[in-house]
Structure 1
Amino acid sequence: MTIRPTNTHTVEKIGGTSMSRTRELLDTVLIGSRQGTELYNRIIVVSAYGGMTDALLEHKKSGEPGVYSLFSSAESGWSWGDALSRVASAMLEKNAEIFGDDNSREVADRFVKERVEGVRSCLIDLARLCSFGHFQLEQHLLTVREMLSSLGEAQSAHNTALLLKLHGVNARFVDLTGWREDGQHDLDQQIERAFAEIDLTQELPVVTGYAQCREVLMRTYDRGYSEVTLSRVAVVTGAAEAIIHKEFHLSSADPRVVGTDAVRVIGQTNYDVADQLSNMGMEAIHPRAAKSLRQAGIPLRVKNAFEPSHPGTLIRSDLSADQPGVEIVTGLKSVFAFEFYDQDMVGVKGYDAKILEALDRHKVWIISKTSNANTITHFLKGSMKAIRRVEKDLSDIFPTAEISLRKVALVSAIGRDLGGTNVLSKAVTMLAEAGIEPLGIHDLMRKVDLQVVVEEADFDRAVVALHKGLVEQDARDQSKRQLKAA
């Protein structure tokens, strides 16, 4: 059955940190001042509550093992089962926080217990099966990761639909996780089947951020899957706009670093800038998800979930800059500069390909790259363990090569058009005035971003210096020009 696009509804994703403030969301994103038909013509895609996916998989930043990491480790024994019990307790505590002593809490608790114990039984059976030599656990780990991850989204989507019903909203829980389903479908087919009988003018669907499908979202996107679900739901249902609700505005820099008075909300930008932000770890939207929206001509809006009246940031492919300038200064700490040096490289092909194969094999994220006649340096984000494996593989292939590893930070000044702004000379001047000596600078001919490599200890000061010189000063200069023109 094919969905008939209305082109009037929105598809809105709520991130995990915001989801943890569910009661507040009732007064903003979920209900707010809406009444009657205003409550509908929306689709809500939800992430798991903050910290829940970390507990189910592994901590995103520290790497502390969760249920998945413990289960996949042969040395962990039954510790994964204890970790799963702790997750179940955390889920039940969340239910108590949301529903209190209301009868709906019993419904929410039964849902959690059924899912958790179903997963526990499945993992016990899988471990027993793989104790025989004919079955290898490694072949099933991606499926295990999918199943565990989907628990968090299933709980938050089920709870949100239940809570909305308590407040008189005709909400529907839409489960895309594939729980106890026979067969498997493509992602778009899965979405079509889920929405075939839903009338968006009279129902408010609350959708799991994880969707089980033939494409296996975690294989390609790992934990960025909810934005892919958002984008494909928007495309398949023919949405007028996609919206991502975060706990902060998309601003010209992190207000915690440069100060709330110094930053400004970015009113509009394009998908090119969104891609650069994703590369810097500032997740406006996953690049693959942005591609779907861009190709379908669907604009994306990034909003602060707790300031519903603010229009947020509009992102469209056809939004060119009114005038050249830096829009945002951001960056990444704990970046590894992976330097590969081999004098035999000069004039020889194949080095690049082998390095990329090793990085891809060990799932290391490449942020940026530089090279000269005999040196290729990749700036990487990933675990030290994975990067050391890359180093070993390449040392075996190229025994004469010298490979070094250094921890640095990357700061990037990004804008739709940096041409003619002297951004490089201004950046060098501002850094020098702040007493910061760059370890490297990448200034590409396309003029959408400038990347500066600095010592980790200099990261915050570099962001402050570049924002002051490239954003704040530019804004003052524009104001002066406008006053003169008036």
Structure 2
Amino acid sequence: MRVVKFGGSSLANGPQVQKVLNIILAEPKRRVIVTSAPGKRSDSDIKVTDLLIKYANCVLQKRDYQAALNQIWTRYQEIADFFDISQNSLQPLKQELIELPLTNYANYDFLMAAFKAHGEKINAQLLTLILQKQGVAARFLDPKTAGLLVSDVPNDAAVLPQTYQNLKKWRHTQELLIVPGFYGVTESGQIATFSRGGSDITGAILAQGLQAELYENFTDVNAIYASDPRIVTHPQPIQVMTYRELRELSYAGFSVFHDEALIPAIEGQIPIKVKNTNHPDLPGTMIVPEQHFHTQNVITGVASSNHFAALYLHRYLLNKEVGFTLKLLQIFYQFNISYEHMPSGIDDLTVIFDKRQFTKELRQQMCQKIQEVLNPDYLEWIDDYAILMIVGEGMRNKIGVMKLITSSLAKKNIGLHMINQGASRISIMLGTKQADAPIAVSEIYHQFFN
């Protein structure tokens, strides 16, 4: 049995949904389908999830929301019209949208979560109607009925362990199950969503809970590529890669999967295949456990991201002072800031952050506190910072990889702020200036994929 998730672009309009139907019916093993909310039909379009957020904000601000509601329903009506679904069948779906403002919620955050979740829920119900009209024994399976229980964090929920036991009873159902992605239900019955992009998480949870042989994730790309096509022209598609390779590359900008989506699949050791809804006959990319994996390539991919910043701190005899790092971490905790890496020397250290956590005021307050408590000789905030990740299972047993990387960058006069190799020996992290990052990615790619 396979669990299959379709992204928002795959379900954006009638013609795209027809492609989804063809894919579902082409393989009898595809028994559990996870839906996203309708995505963009064009670059200038608006995702249904964003329209639902607009709808929710109108309700919260006590403004007229009829225009937002009409805009949302029009998207579903267009898909329904494409398949000639009757108004009688659609009325319960529309009524559910209309009644969202009238429902009782624990607080405003749970209201927002419920509104957002209905993008996936209505789409799953509509897809079920379409399949039933075509004679398919399909069933809409709500997360509450399925037993998909999550924590009480309304817009960043985590799956609860008992969910996997609850899901087992659906393993041998004869019906085609259509499950909305992106959300679960708390133990008190409130809807709570995963962080945005969380339909991928739903698919992985179901794949583990149902012990699927494969989790197929259909999106709008042909494969995962060894580098960003916006940086490298026609990069090599990756045929097979490991879970941890994808996790490492996702850290530096690979955006095919939601960052947390692989965790349930990894725990369940479920292989994942990424494919293109528009070109389903292409092989795509298979993501597998590390055991018994063999590769012919030294590196699998190279990626970069600019959403980092660094704090450089110098103080003589820093390495002799007991508790120095503890005091620094306590300051981060005080300001609710997480750090990514902390390479250090005998008299200095650099702390690398995801700078999206900061406002200008928060950064200034934190640096001032560090100055007061630790009294460094020199403190500098470095905003011009990019991280590169060079990743590959083949690096573990290859001598001279670092030489090949640094020599290719030296030819382009690219300096490095930081070099760090992970304990697993399958990744090397580099810090550069932001302007140098795309050049560095291109040079490293061509060094190994010539």
Q: Residues 289 and 218 (structure 1 numbering): CA distance in 2 closer, same or farther, change over 3 Å?
A: farther
- Hey, what does 2:97 align to over in structure 1? 115
Cα deviation per residue 1:143-185 (whole Å; 9 max; x = unaligned)? 3443233122212222222232333322222222689x99999
- The structure-2 alpha-carbon separation of the partners of 1:197 and 1:432, relative to structure 1 and needing over 3 Å to count, comes to closer
2:409–2:444: 8 Å Cα contact kept in structure 1? Answer: yes
Number of aligned pairs? 427
State the Cα RMSD in Å. 4.0
Unaligned runs of 5+ in 2: 40-46, 153-158
Aligned partners of 2:191 and 2:317: how far apart in 1? 39
Shift of residue 210, structure 1, vs aligned partner: 1.3
Alignment of 1:185-196 (within 5 A): 187=160, 189=162, 196=169
8 Å Cα contact 2:124/2:178 also seen in 1: no
Structure holding more helix per residue = 1
Greater shift after overlay, 332-341 or 321-330? 332-341
Does 1:370 find its partner at 2:368? no
1:408 lines up with 2:385 in the alignment: yes
Paired residue secondary structure (1:222): coil
Task: Give the TM-score taking structure 2 as reference length.
Answer: 0.79
- Are 1:270 and 2:242 an aligned pair? yes
Quickly say closer, same or farther: Cα 1:34–1:339, change in 2 above 3 A.
Answer: same
Q: CA deviation at 1:55?
A: 4.7
Q: Residue 48 of structure 2: which of 23, 33, 52 is its match?
A: 52
Distance 1:163 1:460, change over 3 A: farther
Equivalence for 2:224: 250
Partner of 2:42: none
Deviation digits for residues 256-309 of structure 1 (CA, Å, limit 9, x no counterpart): 32112xx12211111111220232242454565434323323222222222212
Deviations 1:92-123 (A, max 9, x none): 23113312373446644652452354246547
Say which of 71, 91, 97 aligns to 1:90: 71
Deviation of the 1:406 alpha carbon:
0.6
Displacement after TM superposition at 1:325 (Å): 0.6
Using the TM superposition, name which of 450-459 and 390-399 deviates more: 390-399
Alignment pair present for 1:418 and 2:399: no
Shift of 1:252: 0.8
Deviation at 1:209, TM superposition (A): 2.9
Distance 1:390 1:177, change over 3 A: farther
- CA distances 1:440-486 after superposition (whole Å, capped 9, x unpaired): 3333454212222232233332222221112x22xxxxxxxxxxxxx
In the alignment, the residues of structure 2 paired with residue 389 and residue 153 of structure 1 have an alpha-carbon distance, to the nearest angstrom, of 36
From the superposition, tell whether residues 370 and 211 of structure 1 become closer, same or farther in structure 2 (CA, over 3 Å). same
Corresponding residue for residue 460 of structure 1: 438
**Structure 1: stretches of 5+ with no match in the other structure:** 1-8, 58-65, 72-77, 127-139, 474-486
Matching residue of 1:42: 31
Give the aligned partner of residue 213 of structure 2: 240
In structure 1, give the amino acid aligned to 2:48.
M
1:67-216 map, 5 Å: 80-82=61-63, 87-100=68-81, 102-104=84-86, 107-108=89-90, 110-119=92-101, 122=104, 140=107, 142-176=109-143, 187=160, 189=162, 196=169, 200-214=173-187
For 1:426 and 1:193, the matched residues in 2 are separated by 51
Equivalent residue in structure 1 for 2:414, among 436, 458, 462: 436
Secondary structure at the counterpart of residue 434 of structure 1:
coil
Tell me how far apart the structure 1 counterparts of residues 172 and 68 of structure 2 sit (CA, whole Å): 35
TM-score under structure 1 normalisation? 0.73
